[in-house]
């Protein structure tokens, strides 16, 4: 299904359709503040396995992150955040960043990597955050497979390419082509793993 959702004022009925899809183990393609991503409910094992199959990776090795609604939502899925780190997160989020942090016990076992870390994200995108708010817990987020980034900006093209693999393509308008900036905060000094849309300088 290709579902047109207003980027500023998502229709509650559309959000409910997306929530029901996620709760029943569905997989969606949805907009963020950077590129469109693959998403599912973090507690739906079969959906996580579906995303891993689409990306052709092992779930524990896949670069999957959680999209959270806000900082307090994010803090449930990581171990205690130091005051300096909290300040950085507060200044940067919502925004085009993925922070790699130590995973808390709230992170489902299937998603715990050997390093026991998790990527956490609060995108500056109303649709993504409204979906999370409606679901009442984070959605799992993964990049779309392959390198054809140009094809991942137009929801109608994504629908044509992925309609047999996902349940809903959420059309929130054209997406960007630059992914989020990934920062590993599990060691000092923090390390930029991927330069992306978010500017970063050592703080």
Residue-range domains of the chain with CATH: 2-194 (3.90.870.10)
Q: H or E stretch including 158?
A: helix 155-162
Average pLDDT over residues 140-167: 88
Mean of per-residue pLDDT scores for the chain: 91
Per-residue model confidence (pLDDT) at position 60: 67
For the cut 70, the answer to whether the pLDDT of residue 22 exceeds it is yes
Q: How far apart are CA 189 and CA 184, in angstroms?
A: 9
pTM: 0.92
For the cut 60, the answer to whether the pLDDT of residue 203 exceeds it is no
For the cut 70, the answer to whether the pLDDT of residue 202 exceeds it is no
Average pLDDT over residues 22-39: 96
Least confidently predicted of 9-18, 35-44, 63-72, 124-133: 63-72
For the cut 80, the answer to whether the pLDDT of residue 201 exceeds it is no
Task: State whether the Cα torsion 1-54-25-127 is positive or negative.
Answer: negative
In the structure encoding, which two tokens stand for residue 90, read together? Answer: 């507060």
Q: How far apart are CA 97 and CA 43, in angstroms?
A: 23
Q: How far apart are CA 30 and CA 3, in angstroms?
A: 10
Per-residue model confidence (pLDDT) at position 175: 92
Per-residue model confidence (pLDDT) at position 108: 86
Name which residue leads in pLDDT, 13 or 187: 13
94-128 tens-digit pLDDT: 999 999 999 999 988 877 766 788 999 999 999 99
Nearest to 16 by CA among 190, 121, 168: 168
Name which residue leads in pLDDT, 109 or 5: 5
């Amino acid at each position: 299904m290709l579902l047109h959702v207003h980027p500023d004022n998502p229709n509650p009925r559309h959000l409910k359709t997306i929530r029901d899809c996620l709760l029943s183990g569905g997989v969606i393609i949805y907009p963020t503040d950077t590129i469109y991503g693959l998403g599912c409910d973090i507690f739906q094992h079969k959906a996580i396995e579906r995303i891993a199959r689409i990306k052709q990776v092992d779930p524990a090795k896949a670069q999957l992150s959680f999209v959270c609604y806000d900082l307090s939502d994010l803090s449930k899925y990581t171990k205690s955040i130091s005051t300096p780190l909290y300040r950085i997160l507060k200044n940067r989020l919502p925004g085009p960043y993925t922070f790699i942090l130590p995973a808390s016990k709230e992170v489902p076992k299937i998603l715990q990597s050997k390093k026991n870390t998790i990527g956490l994200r609060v995108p500056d995108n109303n649709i993504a955050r409204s979906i999370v708010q409606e679901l009442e817990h984070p959605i799992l987020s993964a990049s779309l497979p392959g390198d054809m980034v140009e094809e991942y900006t137009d929801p109608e093209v994504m629908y044509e390419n992925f309609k047999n693999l996902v349940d809903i393509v959420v059309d929130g308008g054209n997406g960007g082509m630059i992914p989020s900036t990934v920062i590993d905060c599990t060691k000092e000094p923090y390390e930029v793993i991927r330069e992306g849309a978010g500017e970063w300088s050592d703080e």
